[in-house]
Structure 1
Amino acid sequence: MSVKKIITSYATYNLSANKQFVNWLSKQSEEQLLQEVPSSFKGILQTLNHIWAIEEMWCADLFKNDDAVNRYGVQDLNSKEVFEGLLNRSSIIAEKVNLLTDNTLAENISIKTPWFEANLTLAEYLQHLFNHGTYHRGQIITIAHHLGFTEMPSTDFLFYSLMASNQS
């Protein structure tokens, strides 16, 4: 299997998982989404905003898009804005990844941020981006359990892959 096929699958999986979360979380009240709990971020909406912020950052760094939105430090959150922003950026990333070639994915890119300095392939950065979203969606599930939410979506990559292969 080519690197392009793997990374493209992860990009569409990321978008699909984010859609499932938005559909599920949009049934919850704004108060529940903002309720503070002990976690990496104060609550569900704050964690989802963080996923969006990182997608914005990586899209700007990797694809040089100039329409990235800086979500760091945003305190006044509302679910509609976060849901729409996350899905929009995830969709754009999936579209951009779909246009890449194996050769482009194998190119090294030097990145220097306040947190790290690296010279990895585009594929490795993208794999990190998708893992990052998966990690924090897992945190959201744990937070949701503590808040008494039910009917959590199943967003494991394996189940996404099985569903996608049955549709082709």
Structure 2
Amino acid sequence: MNLKKMITDYSAYNLSANRQLVNWLSNQPEAELQKEVPSSFKGVLPTLNHIWAIEEMWCAHLFKNQDAVNRYGVQDLNSQEVFEGVLHRSAVIVEKVNQLSDEALIQNSYIKTPWFEANISVAEYLQHLFNHGTYHRGQIISMAHQLGFTEIPSTDFLFFSLTIANQ
């Protein structure tokens, strides 16, 4: 497997996993999505909003998107807005990744933010982005268990890979 295929597959997986999570969460009671549950963030919706915020940030840095939305500090969260926002940005990432050449993926990019300073390859930043989403989706699943949600989807990369391999 080459780097381009791996990153392209992970971008598609990220969108698919976010879509599964959003589709499932959209059938949960709004009050439960807004309920405070101890974790890195204060609950399901704030954690999903964080995934969206980070995807916005990386689109702005890596792809120079001028339409990136700053989600930091947003307290009054509307579930429909968060659902649509995270899915939209994940789809844009798929588009942008599909347009990258092998050379662009291995190109180093210097980025300085309030949290870190780095000069690593675009592929490494993207791999971080996809791992970050996986980490926080796992937190959402843990919070959902605490809230008594059922029929929780499996968003593992392996199951995604097996699905696309059988198509």
TM-score category (smaller protein):
over 0.9
CA contact (8 A) 1:30 1:78 kept: no
State the secondary structure of the residue aligned to 1:92: helix
- Calculate the TM-score normalised by the size of structure 2: 0.99
Is 1:89 paired with 2:122?
no
The residue number in structure 1 matching 2:78 is 78
The residue number in structure 1 matching 2:49 is 49
Percent of aligned pairs with the same residue?
74
The residue number in structure 1 matching 2:153 is 153
- Calculate the TM-score normalised by the size of structure 1: 0.99
Equivalence map 1:4-153=2 (5 Å): 4-153=4-153
Deviation at residue 83 of structure 1 after TM alignment = 0.2
- Give a deviation string over 1:140-162, Cα, whole Å, max 9, x none: 00000000000111010011001
Letter in 1 for 2:28: Q
Unaligned runs of 5+ in 2: none
Count of paired positions: 167
**Cα distance in 2, alignment partners of residues 50 and 30 from structure 1:** 18
Deviation at residue 101 of structure 1 after TM alignment = 1.1
- Give a deviation string over 1:103-158, Cα, whole Å, max 9, x none: 11000000000110000000000000000000000000000000000011101001
**Cα distance in 2, alignment partners of residues 79 and 147 from structure 1:** 17
State the secondary structure of the residue aligned to 2:166: helix
Structure 1 runs of 4+ with >4 Å offset? none
State the secondary structure of the residue aligned to 1:68: coil
Superposition RMSD in Å:
0.4
**Cα distance in 1, alignment partners of residues 56 and 138 from structure 2:** 20
State the secondary structure of the residue aligned to 1:138: helix
